[in-house]
Structure 1
Amino acid sequence: MRITQSMMTSNMMGGLQGNYKRLDKYQEQMMTQRRINRPSDDPVGVAGALQYRSQITATTQFEQNAEDADSWLKYGDTVLTETTQIIQRLAELAVQGSTETTPADARVNIAAEVEQLYNQLVSLGNAQFKGKYIFNGERTDQRPFPDDPTQTPYDLDKGVVMYQVGAGITFPVNTLGEEVFGAFGDPSGIFVVVDNFRQALLADDTAGISAAIPALQKNLETTIIAQAEIGGRQNRLEFTLSRLGDLNINYMDLQSKVEDADISKVIIELKTAESIYQASLDTMARIIRPSLVDFLR
């Protein structure tokens, strides 16, 4: 077979082009720090990388949901803590006002404080987290309690607000208003108990004032139980957040192993490709000088 100048030139140009592509490949990896820059670089690896990215996106969203749920629970705990403190103060006032030696005018002054505490309890019952009422079930856009819950009827929703914190895993965050403050007209509910207490103070009714003490104690226990339940949910959510964080780190590590370049290896390959490419140019310059001149033009 006769080897012509054009055949030799064509073969060398093909080899030169291949060497240049190899050099360009490692230069790109060095600049991007990534082994896979397009699907053609590693079709199998791309499929795995896309799956890991999807998992990272989902896990990150679950983490955000869990953090939002945790914030809701912390706010609910703060509200119940203040509710507990108010009920404790009311119990102190009930003990003070039930004493036979307490004069009527002193009981009127106590009644004034009780009225302020009553209004604060109503305000706490209408507490909002990020614009959502936390004690009205799933009707988070509707105010649960009127200004005077003992005189104006109200109907609380009993739905449970759920946050998705994992694949098929939902988490309840709200506390039902009836469990803490009682339904409308409930004689054992905190609003009715406090209102009766205030009326007894104004009427100078020692028996009525004394009756408020065990009623307030019962409401205090109810509030503490609700607060303990929130604490249990927070503990569970803490474990969930830790697990989600570990999952995210694991997925990111797997993604990095598939997509990211081994820089030390890339540097070696790049230097080798540079040497081979330069040697190809030198060889062509010596063997096919006329053709190389024409090519450079």
Structure 2
Amino acid sequence: MSMPSRVTGTSMTTKALGDLQRSLARGQKLQSQISGGKQLTRPSDSPTGTVTSLQLRGEVRATQQYSRNSNDGLGWLGTIQDTLGDASSEIIRVRDLTVQALNTANDSGSRQALADEIDNIRDQLLGQANTKYMDRPVFGGTTPGAAAYTVDHATGTATFAGNTNPTTRTVGPNAKVRIESSGPEAFGQPGTDTELFTVLKKISDDIKSGDATSLNKSLENLDSAHDLLKSALSDVGARYNRIEQMKQSADDHLLSVSSQLSDIEDVDLPKAIMELQIQQTSYQAALAATAKVIQPSLIDFLR
């Protein structure tokens, strides 16, 4: 035969206050979630959700870095594309002037004017070969110097001052892409007859001297230099497209991961507000029930 347990006023009061306190704590948690907009405020809220959240946050940071690297690469390659495109137009102009010079072999004044224009175009192309992006020469490889090409103004000789070390950016998981094009790749190997700046100087000298045979040979070298530049431009365009695709992929992945992270961390506001209202109603009902169960005694009035 079991002994009946004794229920005292003190035990009833303690139990009722404990229930009210727990109800207040649930309401306070809901209020905190609504105010902060997050349902995960500490690891104890959801241990598994916290682990998943940390993994997704790491993936978000990595994807954001890939996107930033892609933007930097697009800036480099876009600058190179524009520069080589302009250089190609200038080379076409030089070719037209050279062909014109072959038809004015006996007119020294016209030859001098044509040679002067070609010299100006050569100076302009040398300036384009020293084009910079973020204060770094885009045709200089990894050189710490300020220019990819230097010019000896006494002789007019252009010297490659950079290097051919690749500059890369990581634009995705295990995906590295070169973001530069070295001077020799675009303008020819220094010291060879087909190096663009050497060809232009030779053409100018041949026009001034009226040497048609040498000028025809220089014209062939100019075509070879132009073909090399167009090949470099094509390669840069292909790398630009690859980085652009990788950036789009990174942006799409970032959107997907951010959505998953939001599902885990963020509060469903309509649901949370409804639960808070229910909790407040429950708390008010608990207060009313407690007031009826725990009636004041004579001792309460004597206090």
TM range (shorter): over 0.9
> Take 2:212 and 2:261, find their aligned partners in 1: how far apart are those partners?
73
Matched, 1:76 2:73: no
Residue 288 of structure 2 corresponds to residue 282 of structure 1: yes
Corresponding residue of 1:37: 41
Matched, 1:261 2:267: yes
Match of 2:94 among 90, 95, 107: 90
Per the TM alignment, residue 100 of structure 1 is displaced from its structure 2 partner at its CA by 4.5
1:29: how far off? 1.9
Residues 150 and 178 (structure 1), Cα distance of their counterparts in 2 relative to 1, 3 Å cut: farther
Residue equivalent to 1:173: 179
Structure 1 contact 162–172 (Cα < 8 Å) conserved: yes
Counterpart of 1:189 (choices 195, 210, 213) is: 195
Counterparts of 1:1-297 in structure 2, within 5 Å, are: 1-100=5-104, 103-148=107-152, 151=157, 153-290=159-296
CA spacing shift, 1:102–1:140, aligned 2, 3 Å: farther
The Cα RMSD (Å) is 1.9
In 1, distance between residues paired with 2:59 and 2:106? 68
Most deviating of 88-97 and 27-36: 27-36
CA distance in 2, matches of 1:108, 1:264: 82
Distance 1:106 1:113 in 2: 11
Superposed CA deviations along residues 218-243 of structure 1, whole A, max 9, x for unmatched, are: 11111111111111112211221121
Contact kept, 8 Å, 1:150 with 1:191, in 2: the verdict is no
Separation in structure 1 between the aligned mates of residue 13 and residue 109 of structure 2, nearest angstrom: 115
Deviation (angstroms), 1:216: 1.3
Q: CA offsets per residue over residues 31-85 of structure 1, 9 Å max, x none?
A: 2222212222112111111111111011011101011101111110001011101
Q: Contact between 1:126 and 1:145, CA under 8 Å: does it hold in 2? A: yes
Contact 1:183 1:189 in 2 (8 A): yes
For residue 175 of structure 1, what is the amino acid of its counterpart?
S
Report the alpha carbon displacement of residue 182 of structure 1 after superposing the two structures with TM.
2.3
Once residues 188 and 213 of structure 2 are traced to their aligned partners in structure 1, the CA distance between those partners, rounded to angstroms, is: 23
Secondary structure of the structure 1 residue equivalent to 2:169: strand
- Matched residue type, 1:30: I
Which one-letter code corresponds to 1:186 in the other structure? T
Bigger shift: residues 73-82 or 101-110: 101-110
TM-score by length of 2: 0.91
Deviation at 1:28, TM superposition (A): 1.7
Contact 1:108/1:202 (<8 A) preserved: yes
1:94 deviates by 0.2
The 8 Å contact of residues 98 and 207 in structure 1, kept in 2 or not, is answered as no
Secondary structure of 2:150's aligned partner: coil
Any conservation in 2 of the 1:73–1:234 contact (CA below 8 Å)?
yes
The whole-number CA distance in structure 2 between the counterparts of 1:200 and 1:281 is 105
SS at match of 1:147: strand
- Matched residues, percent identical? 26
Distance 2:75 2:159 in 1: 31
Give the partner amino acid of 1:11: K
Given that residues 150 and 185 in structure 1 are in contact (C-alpha distance below 8 angstroms), is that contact kept between their aligned partners in structure 2? no
